[in-house]
Structure 1
Amino acid sequence: MLHKNEPIIIKRQKRGKRNHGHGGAWKVAFADFTLAMMALFMVLWIMQIADQKERTMIVQYLRGDMNQTGPINPFELSQSSSIIDLEGNMSIAPSVVPSNPSNRAENTVGNEDGGLISGQFDTKEQLTVLARQLNRVVQNSSMADNITVTVVPQGIRILIHDNVDQFMFTRGSAQMQPYFEELLLSLGPILKNITNSMVISGHTDSTPYAGSLFTNWELSSQRALLARRVLERGGVKRDQVIQVTGMADQIPYIITDTAAAANRRIEALILTSSAEQLLRGMIGAPNESAKNGISIDEIMQKNATN
């Protein structure tokens, strides 16, 4: 059979370029992930700076719990004594601005010493804000379990005591332990920015000394004086402490066990204006409250006329 020389035809087709992209769906997923992470960090940040009462209010608000005026809103600034800004500084609402605030620029809200306005803290709201700042310093120290910060009618009491594991001073002496000295120094930056006067008292347990020349009276006095000296090194003004007292074992903290370690303590009382005036009147300084008193000479003259 004869084969014809037929031409061979090769047909080439152009292949389209494949699209290797995956679309834009991943961008939406990544944006959702980023938003969720931001929300998580915001919650962690709020929980870290909020106290127990504020945390309880937040939980109640998220659960939809109601009170007499409607839902509890922890972010309602009109019902809050303090404002938390986005930079982590504590601002003070007008209702808790201290009396006679200082105009010094370095002590305004948001400063490095705790964000407190310098001035006199007298009202319960003002004292609560100040106590909260002091307590934050306490909780960051190694002696947090030995310290109590309390708002009392006379002002704020900072009570620091021994326990079986930690002593403020070497037993039987006024040699201060380094961690106690560090605590007092850390309180200075806050205390130096207030104009409230302070009193410091030292206390011991009931364990007596063998000799009679050095007693718990001398020991408690020396410890209180040393605490005042360290506070001044931390920034407390010299004329801010108006009284330092050694109380020996006369006012035990643990009444049922006068030899307990907790009776060995240092107490610092931040005084309100009225408490300071009362104290000055008791020790003979002239003030309005002392004018109503009667001197011994007046009593003798009155008895002579009768």
Structure 2
Amino acid sequence: MSANPAGTEQPIIIKKKKGGHGGHHGGAWKVAYADFVTAMMAFFLLLWLLNVTTSDQRKGIADYFAPMSVSRETSGSGGLLGGQTITVPGAQISPSSPISSDAPTSGPPGYQTNEVEDADEASEVTTSGGPASGGGDAATGDTGAAAGQRPNETRFEHQQRLEQMASQLGIPGQKPGERLADFAERVNEAADVLNIARNEARQFQEAATEIRQAIQSIPELEPLAQNLMIDQTPDGLRIQIVDQDRVSMFPGGSSQMFPQTRQLVGQLAGVLAKLPNNLSISGHTDGVPFAAGAGRDNWDLSAERANATRRALIAGGIPESRIRDVVGRADRDLLVPDQPASPRNRRISIVLLRETQARADGAPAQN
């Protein structure tokens, strides 16, 4: 070692160069950034789902993630949608296409579809084919399969099908806290009532056609065709035998039928006897009062004519047990209100009551 002019040793300084870009943080920022991007992707996915789903569908998704709601799906992906698409089948036309579960509209097994032959009815009626097999609502503590639920159908899919049926039937959807089995039973009952009403309407139409054909087939009754008015009302099929200017069903002030009237009622009885529905009979008069001192009035006359019609129907083959009521209305329900003296106000009304109406009144249904 050379001598230092100052007489002291010079210190040795070693410089180390820092390498890489880690600095004080290293690569940790990359992990944080990846987590941020993942969170943003999930956030925008949530916004998209909120945009393309309906409120009922969002409720179904929320129910799926409820602590007590466990999917029993055994087919497909086993997930929420059961292997089905979140968008409408086929090519995506719009980025905001609504959610679709592709659930068939014909209903689960145990249901039948009866297509209504009515120009005003474009949808099918779904009715229950049997009693409920037990509850299947895990969210409310039910066990077993819900009424009509398929073996491989999730609770969410079955609930969506019932909601669609309820909407078509015009009844409220599942109520808060209502068991799925109870909701299914309520939908089935409404579908049964509607199906009965539509079947009855079709039967009534066929009966009206048969009545007109029966009258036209008898020469002596053909002139009375204009005296017959047939229409469907909320109560049922209404058949009215109406007096005309020159053709009356009863002699003036009398309850004794003319022979052609009795024959006409007999033809009506032959057609009505083929249907099980009960009958309601009412008599009506015009607004012309009886002479003073006659000892009777339009109330008596209308009731007597209605009762005479009852006897003629029974003689024509109608069981007496099917007669629901026989009433006289006098001039309280005029057919031509602005002409109280019109002969058209004198009439007999026979109503073939709807079975649904009979149930609403508490009467047992006829078999």
TM-score, scaled relative to structure 1? 0.51
TM-superposed deviation, 1:275: 1.7
Aligned to 1:206: 287
Aligned residues: 171
TM-superposed deviation, 1:165: 0.9
CA distance in 2, matches of 1:222, 1:286: 28
Aligned to 2:216: 139
Is residue 243–residue 249 contact of structure 2 (8 Å, CA) maintained in 1? yes
Which amino acid letter does the alignment assign opposite residue 173 of structure 1?
S
Aligned to 1:231: 313
CA distance in 2, matches of 1:277, 1:208: 38
Is residue 281–residue 306 contact of structure 2 (8 Å, CA) maintained in 1? yes
Aligned to 1:268: 350
- Long gaps (5+) in structure 2: 1-114, 118-124, 126-195
Residue 123 of structure 1 aligns to a residue whose secondary structure is helix
CA distance in 2, matches of 1:236, 1:120: 22
CA distance in 1, matches of 2:288, 2:256: 18
Which amino acid letter does the alignment assign opposite residue 137 of structure 1?
A
Which has the larger Rg? 2
Aligned to 1:187: 268
Residue 276 of structure 2 aligns to a residue whose secondary structure is coil
Comparing 153-162 with 263-272, greater Cα deviation is found at 153-162
Task: Label 1:225 to 1:120 Cα distance change in 2 as closer, same or farther (>3 A).
Answer: farther
Residue 222 of structure 1 aligns to a residue whose secondary structure is helix
TM-score, scaled relative to structure 2? 0.43
Aligned to 1:243: 325
TM-superposed deviation, 1:182: 0.6
TM-superposed deviation, 1:181: 0.5
Which amino acid letter does the alignment assign opposite residue 241 of structure 2?
I
CA distance in 2, matches of 1:147, 1:204: 16
Which amino acid letter does the alignment assign opposite residue 261 of structure 1?
P
Aligned to 1:123: 200
TM-superposed deviation, 1:186: 1.4
1:147-177 per-position Cα deviation (integer Å, ceiling 9, x unaligned): 1111222211101111111111110111211
Task: Label 1:80 to 1:271 Cα distance change in 2 as closer, same or farther (>3 A).
Answer: closer
Aligned to 2:235: 154
Is residue 197–residue 356 contact of structure 2 (8 Å, CA) maintained in 1? no
TM-superposed deviation, 1:122: 4.8
Residue 143 of structure 1 aligns to a residue whose secondary structure is helix
Task: Label 1:277 to 1:171 Cα distance change in 2 as closer, same or farther (>3 A).
Answer: same
CA distance in 1, matches of 2:279, 2:316: 15
- Percent sequence identity over aligned pairs: 33
Task: Label 1:273 to 1:247 Cα distance change in 2 as closer, same or farther (>3 A).
Answer: same
